[in-house]
Amino acid sequence: MAEEDWQQSRLIPTSGISGAEEAERRATSALLAVMSAVKEFGLAITKPFGAPATWLSTYVETPFKLDGKSYRPDGLIRASRGGKEWTWSI
């Protein structure tokens, strides 16, 4: 799936709460949205892991392939600054 198809995290997700799985998805989306909206908060969490000091892009349930296997982590955080790009999946 192309990067353009990735679903950005939202503070108020549009998905319903039909069970524990949906509630987890909504909570993950809200947390990631706050990390991307409040620069200091996002930096405080990602800086210890080596992320560059910049605004974050956050996505939920981003599908990708690695070594021929399909993966769909709960969320993905990306920081890009200059020529350096850092990503972290949760």
Q: Does the structure show a pLDDT above 60 at 45?
A: yes
Among 38, 12, 36, 47, CA closest to 26: 12
Q: Residue 15 — very low, low, confident or very high, per pLDDT cuts 50/70/90?
A: low
Residue 2 backbone zone (phi > 0: left; psi -120 to 50: alpha; other: beta): beta
Note the pLDDT of residue 19.
79
Please state the pTM of the whole predicted model: 0.82
Q: How far apart are CA 61 and CA 70, in angstroms?
A: 12
Residue spans per domain, the chain? 3-89
State the average pLDDT over residues 73-90: 90
